[in-house]
Structure 1
Amino acid sequence: MMNEVSLTRLYMLRAMYLLVVVGLSLTLWPDVLSAKKAFSAWEFFRGVETSMMAAFWLLCLVGIRYPLQLLPILLWELLWKTVWLIAVPLPLWMNGTLDEKLLPNVFAIGAVILVYAVIPWSYVYRHYIKKQGDQWRTAK
């Protein structure tokens, strides 16, 4: 259906993808493109993280054109950030040991609230929960 999601919501999704693209362009790509910071010089997990974020950047770039088709990538962002906020800073905050050095990360990752706001939740429900899944085997 063409009008399943309002044009306003589609623009909000596009703005979210654009925000990610611009943000990662400023924070991620300078490290990737820097001559003094080659992938081989990074620790293993830093290289994995950077590669995953570069792929995420590319998918968000495509999401500007196809906001609904790339919705799972925003759901992935929403889920990993929510898990991190619940698993890492929340317990530290609850027992009074949240380190101030962690706060910039908490605020940056806490911006996931914007993703919650732009997701067309009724579309997600209809297409990822209520809709019958793809078949698992050939019909007899």
Structure 2
Amino acid sequence: MYEVSSFRLYLLRAMYLLVVVGLGIVLWPDIIHHSKPWGLMGGTVMCMLAAFSIMCAVGLRYPLQMLPVLLWEIVWKTMWLGIVALPQWLAGHVDPAVQGQVFDCAFVVLVYIAVPWRYVWSHYVLKQGDRWTIGSSRAASAGPKSSMKPA
């Protein structure tokens, strides 16, 4: 299996820290001091981003174990840029709200740079997946069978 360098681990930690600090400055004051109820979408987005920032805080300690959080970030931002922003840009109808979101999502480039792609390939593509059946886990965890029968 591919071993991730210390430099790459620190790069991942820097990415997690960027998210934690960024959302800590922008998002958490609104969560802690909100005075009126949020609407459905606004509240959903706030809670999802808060959860994301907490998971990134865990990523500071466990950068490889929390890597799926950054992969999720890559997937949704890349999808949004390709499915929402790009068609509007090609049609020449980019409003200020979309422009702001494009700016925020463009930072996904930093995540692409920080992710150890050989590790992702070896651990999420090449590595055998977890078992699907319960029976095989009992046999594996029981160890070698003893010749003695229970009384």
Length-normalised TM-score, structure 2 = 0.85
Q: How far 1:101 moved relative to its partner?
A: 3.6
Residue number in structure 1 paired with 2:105: 109
Residue number in structure 1 paired with 2:66: 70
Q: How far 1:35 moved relative to its partner?
A: 4.5
Residue number in structure 2 paired with 1:23: 22
- After superposition, give the CA deviation of every residue in 1:47-91 in whole Å (9 maximum; x if it has no partner): 111111111111100100100000000000110111111111100
Code of the aligned partner of 1:132:
Q
- 1:5 correspondence with 2:1: no
Greater Rg, structure 1 or structure 2? 2
Residue segments in structure 2 that go unaligned for 5+ positions in a row: 140-151
Find runs of 4+ consecutive structure 1 residues off by over 6 angstroms.
Answer: none
2:78 alignment partner, SS class: helix
Q: Matched residues in 1 for 2:97 and 2:76: separation? A: 21
Residue segments in structure 1 that go unaligned for 5+ positions in a row: none
Alignment: residue pair count: 136
Q: Matched residues in 1 for 2:46 and 2:97: separation? A: 21
Q: Matched residues in 2 for 1:44 and 1:99: separation? A: 23
